[in-house]
Amino acid sequence: MAEIKRFGYGLQALVVLASTAGQYSSVEIAEQIRCEPTALRKILSRLTEAGYIEVRQGRGGGYTLAKPPGEITLAEVYLSMHDDVPMLDGMLDTTGNHLFGQKVRLSFDQIMTDIRYQVEHVLKSYTVADLVE
């Protein structure tokens, strides 16, 4: 699943959990946000590892928020959905190992760094609570 889709589904799952007190199963969350439950469980696993949600296993178990929604920035969620290779790094694959390609690669690298900074800067200004309201 593409990184940006994981981010979108992850945010929606957090909004579901923040909207109403109580626990939700992965199937209940998946039904509400229209996501395939198996894919959603992978996303919920990342959010659990990052410390944004808690899971209680077994009968009567489910997912709950581990932090208040006002303390979870969208930047934190975005970064928890990252793979090791940022999504924009594919641009570097278009440059060759020749002189022109090396020059363009330096420019592309700077542009991608600036884009990542701007995206994170904007996402830091929002929290999950902002999405619930």
pLDDT digits (tens, 9 = 90+) for 55-90: 998 887 899 999 999 999 999 999 898 765 555 667
Distance from the first to the final alpha carbon of the chain: 28
pLDDT at 81: 86
DSSP state of 38: H
Q: What is the dihedral of CA 23, 68, 76, 61, to 10 degrees?
A: -20
Largest CA distance in the chain: 62
Determine if the pTM surpasses 0.85.
no
